[in-house]
Structure 1
Amino acid sequence: MSTRTVRTLGLVAAAALLAACGSGGQIGDSGGSAPTAVKKMVLIPGVAAEPFYISMECGFREAAKAAGYEVDVQAPAKFDAPLQIPIVTGVLANKPGAVLIAPTDDKALAGPMKQLKDAGVKVVEVDTKLQDTSIAESSISSNNAQGGKKAAETLARLVGDKQGSVLVLNTKAGTSTTDARAKGFEDAIKAFPNLKYLGQQYTDNEPDQAASKVTATLSSDPDLIGVFATNLNTGEGAATGLRNAGKTGAVNLVGFDASPKQVQDLQAGVVQALIAQDPATIGKTGVEQAVAAIEGKEVKRNIETDLVAITKTDAAGSERYFYKQAC
């Protein structure tokens, strides 16, 4: 064997040794004990560009970075299962360590989310959840039934002894969070005999539909005295409907969530109360449970975060609950 051949083989061996030594050096890894995929985490919110989910993303990013995870956030353009399902299946191809997801339908997302689980990806539900409780490691959300109860009690306090009818504007049937809010409201409003419950109407999570349903209800029920909107989009739409009908303030509007626009409407008297969640804590807690699942530690199956009723008089002390438009 020639000296040149020996030199060449030595260089090849050295290169191979360097490649082997560098194979475990991903961010946040200790000694290469975990494969690269385990150090990646994905958040799939219910819809893009919504302050609630942006605030959740901020909490998610901060907590995941602190834990040494690379992150990705992919959201559908609308709160719609057919738009969210391809995102879930696309994420599966990269097989991250964990996926935090707000399923847009409590049945339709079960199949795609089970595919994640079967592939070894840890699944954590944030905000919304499936009916099937066997798929996710943990579910983190607000106590939504309690939120609906708070909405009914707050509305009754705003109305006082006046008599009239009240309406609930919901998003889409099969959305676990808003359905729980509507049910909580329905159960609690029975305690106030001066208020006639008109039931709930669905808006497909579109503000313009919420506005038109408020207008139509005012025509059929001129004694409408209160509206409970179960999420951000229905709340903003309901405010528009009341404004267009010249009923701002005359009809008490209780919204759910605290987007910048909703807070502005609250301070301007367009909205009389907001039931605000703590989405950043939901995102942060979701990361904590995902990391625990990945590391084989104890995971808490169901976690409920705080929410609060905010009126114009106490808005100044509730800034921590106001949602963000960017991290």
Structure 2
Amino acid sequence: MKKLTTLISAALLSSTMSVSAHAQDTLAIVVSTLNNPFFVTMKDGAESKAKELGYNLIVLDSQNDPSKELSNVEDLTVRGVKAILINPTDSDAVSNAIRMANRANIPVLTLDRGASRGDVVSHIASDNVAGGEMAGKFIMERVGEKAKVIQLEGIAGTSAARERGEGFMKAVKSGNMDLLASQPADFDRTKGLNVMENLLAANSDVQAVFAQNDEMALGALRAIQASGKDITIVGFDGTDDGIAAVNRGLLSATIAQQPDMIGSLGVETADKVLKGQTVEKNIPVPLKVITK
């Protein structure tokens, strides 16, 4: 009987140690939405690196809802993850979620979009300002100075939308381009189509469109094709669909990010943080213009 009790105790201890060890090896990534190929690729990059480094990775989808995002982070603090990678739905709204993780002493890293407040150990993203400027300069070279342009903006309140717009406006001013309109389409393909249809009706002389992501660019493309107009379209992100459209001559260019690298670097940086190593506050990921 004593031997049996000892065996049971040993088994329970082993089980407890196993659960504890598993918890120590768990990271999490909270993605703004998995209904967007860019963020799916980012998630894939994080999963690949986590597997390589021996971590279990929890993936949660915020469905572009800040309240869902907050709930996701609250769940993770209870589950005892060792670090959280978060791609914010909104740079301001995410601050509450980050502060919650801060109170639980869980390191937070932001991916692609930054946070306005809260303690973030590292931000991994492309230089969105530079990318927006690259898009504007491409349009100026393709269409010429004083080109009549339209901008489709991403989700208001996100750092990506703000910074890409800032960079694009630099190029608009330096190239004396005429910005006919600039309206949000929330990084969404269907909204890109609907907004572009309305803008085309009001701005028949438009020569070029800059969409702050490929999804909106592909939506705008459908509206432009239906109108029969010949308009230069530049997207942003370098998604598979975006690059395929460039190769077919449907989009003029896309400013390519490397979402898989953003996800991968996020996990790699979290690993360094957990090992007590010093990491950069901002880690840039290179951009490039992709044309046919």
> Which TM-score band (shorter chain)?
over 0.9
Is 1:155 equivalent to 2:139 in the alignment? yes
Displacement, 1:75? 1.2
1:236–1:85: structure 2 CA closer, same or farther, 3 Å change rule? farther
TM-score by length of 2: 0.93
Equivalent in the alignment of 2:259: 279
Distance of 2:61 and 2:217 partners within structure 1: 21
Equivalent in the alignment of 2:4: 11
Displacement, 1:268? 2.3
Q: Secondary structure of 1:74's partner?
A: strand
1:21–1:85: structure 2 CA closer, same or farther, 3 Å change rule? closer
TM-score by length of 1: 0.84
Q: Secondary structure of 1:227's partner?
A: strand
Equivalent in the alignment of 2:216: 234
* Conservation of the 8 A alpha-carbon contact between 1:98 and 1:122: yes
Please provide the CA RMSD for this pair: 1.9
Displacement, 1:151? 0.3
1:264 maps to which of 223, 239, 244: 244
Equivalent in the alignment of 2:123: 139
* Conservation of the 8 A alpha-carbon contact between 1:64 and 1:287: yes
Q: Secondary structure of 2:47's partner?
A: helix
Distance of 1:83 and 1:251 partners within structure 2: 39
* Bigger mean CA offset, 37-46 vs 12-21: 12-21
Structure (1 or 2) with the greater helix fraction: 2
1:232–1:86: structure 2 CA closer, same or farther, 3 Å change rule? farther
Structure 2, gaps ≥5 residues long: none
Please give the per-residue CA displacement for 1:145-175, whole angstroms capped at 9, x wherever unaligned. 00001001111111135x5411111122111
Give the letter aligned to residue 46 of structure 1: S
Distance of 1:68 and 1:267 partners within structure 2: 38
Give the letter aligned to residue 109 of structure 1: V
* Conservation of the 8 A alpha-carbon contact between 1:122 and 1:136: yes
1:213–1:140: structure 2 CA closer, same or farther, 3 Å change rule? same
Displacement, 1:22? 5.3
Distance of 2:198 and 2:220 partners within structure 1: 11
Give the letter aligned to residue 258 of structure 1: G
Number of corresponding residues: 292
Displacement, 1:311? 0.8
1:242–1:16: structure 2 CA closer, same or farther, 3 Å change rule? same
1:223 maps to which of 198, 201, 205: 205
Is 1:65 equivalent to 2:51 in the alignment? yes
Q: Give identity over the alignment, percent.
A: 27
Please give the per-residue CA displacement for 1:12-42, whole angstroms capped at 9, x wherever unaligned. 123323433554346xxxxxxx743221011
Distance of 1:72 and 1:17 partners within structure 2: 29
Is 1:100 equivalent to 2:93 in the alignment? no
2:152 maps to which of 154, 169, 175: 169
Q: Secondary structure of 2:69's partner?
A: helix
Please give the per-residue CA displacement for 1:103-158, whole angstroms capped at 9, x wherever unaligned. 111111111221112112221111111111x4211110001000001001111111
Q: Secondary structure of 1:204's partner?
A: coil
Distance of 1:15 and 1:214 partners within structure 2: 68
Give the letter aligned to residue 272 of structure 1: S
* Conservation of the 8 A alpha-carbon contact between 1:164 and 1:223: no
Higher Rg? 1
* Conservation of the 8 A alpha-carbon contact between 1:43 and 1:99: yes
